[in-house]
Chain A
């Protein structure tokens, strides 16, 4: 299994480190050629406006959009969530995303850096139920999710005390508003690796590999 980590800008190294801890092969994605043979993709934290521009200029946007659309397992954290969301408020009008996660997010919805925070969040049984440490950096706020979206984690919004989704999954798309790569808790990365593994079993693209099984 090889997971590609989009490596145009942001905290790429932490995601690579998390995958290495789990013993999973990983590769930096900078050009379309880097997409060959990857089984899943991680969109890291960074600035979503910058990532959106660099995705287009590198030629990665279209092939990656096609692959994600075709079911390539994808995990986005923070800026990565913004790139995956169908409806983004507070972004730039020309900002392009993949639009594969049925939710509405408000960019920097938790406020400026002075309101960035650490908290322990609630997670669903599929993530082990016990509280998860989470770091939110100028994080996108998930305002609403569609009916096909499974919420796997919730956190209290410091500003108004409302309980909001902070981890979402829709099919092969997983996203978090916070940065699991910045803490030592590997449950979300492990969950994603599981998603990639089961997706390989369900939809073999290579018939020879399918026969071998």
Chain B
């Protein structure tokens, strides 16, 4: 087949990396700590699961250093479900990311929920075949992560709190700045690049398209179907729900309801219907009661 020699396949291209993020849009990615939870998540309609040893609420409670999960746990979860499996590496810990790539996870979350391994540098994500998602609290942070090769951005929120207020703040910051940037003239864009600490090329792209060059998802503190509807109406394209599901009274039911809310986020009647009688949500935390903000990790 020498005449088809040009038809060789390319893995790990940016189109392939962001393509998977595109396929997850409108869906719910759920934190799970066991293969059984992963099955519950898939049964409920999750588009993907995040394989963890502890959900953020427990990481927050237990303290200590939070690291990449045991490969045996990740493997068990990969075996249990047919949907994509994500896993977290510490910020800057490229060796953990290499291990996760060797395990063939579908997405790597370079996450502030784990204890950072590098106080100045994030992972150079371009050499990897497996795509990365990174958290961001503002537009500059989002564009720096994209310049390092992230193929999906999630607003950070404050993980493990069951409190949506930070997710809203970060989303509004990112999307509000995008809206303002589209109004800037060509000279002002250079000022924006300096202000944001982001590459001018990406700033120009956002100014022209009115959106990030990769999908923008929302994470951190979502606990109810209405929370999901809120952040998706604000402009999030999909949601990560961590402690909010498996720290609630009836995880299977809540998971299902949250999937429905993501699919029908603009239909208040539908959100009302699926919100009925879900049992207690996770208890949640006032932000002022926290000793440490995970969202402050990352630079």
Contact = CB atoms under 8 A, between A and B. Distances in A.
A53 interface: yes
Given A114-B12, A122-B4, A122-B7, A92 B23 contact: no
B27 A47 contact: yes
B16 A118 contact: yes
B104 interface: yes
B19 A182 contact: yes
A117 B10 contact: yes
Interface stretch (A63-71, A105-113, A169-177): A105-113
Nearest to B83: A47
Interface in A35-81: 45-47, 49-50, 53-54, 57-58, 78-79
Contacts of B12: 114
A49 B256 CA distance: 13
B10 A118 contact: yes
Contact of B7 (A14, A54, A92, A155): A155
Interface residues of B, number: 43
Interface in B1-45: 1, 4, 6-13, 15-16, 19-20, 22-27, 42, 44-45
Contact of B259 (A11, A53, A78, A158): A53
Interface string A20-48: 00000000001000000000000001110
Contact of B9 (A7, A107, A117): A117
A78 B23 contact: yes
Interface in B49-90: 82-84
Interface residues of A, number: 49
29 contacts: A8-B26, A9-B26, A9-B27, A9-B263, A12-B26, A13-B25, A30-B263, A45-B22, A45-B23, A46-B23, A46-B26, A49-B45, A49-B82, A50-B27, A50-B83, A53-B45, A53-B259, A111-B104, A112-B106, A113-B16, A113-B20, A113-B84, A113-B130, A113-B131, A114-B106, A118-B10, A135-B16, A135-B19, A155-B7
Interface of B: 1, 4, 6-13, 15-16, 19-20, 22-27, 42, 44-48, 82-84, 101, 104-107, 129-131, 259-260, 262-264, 267
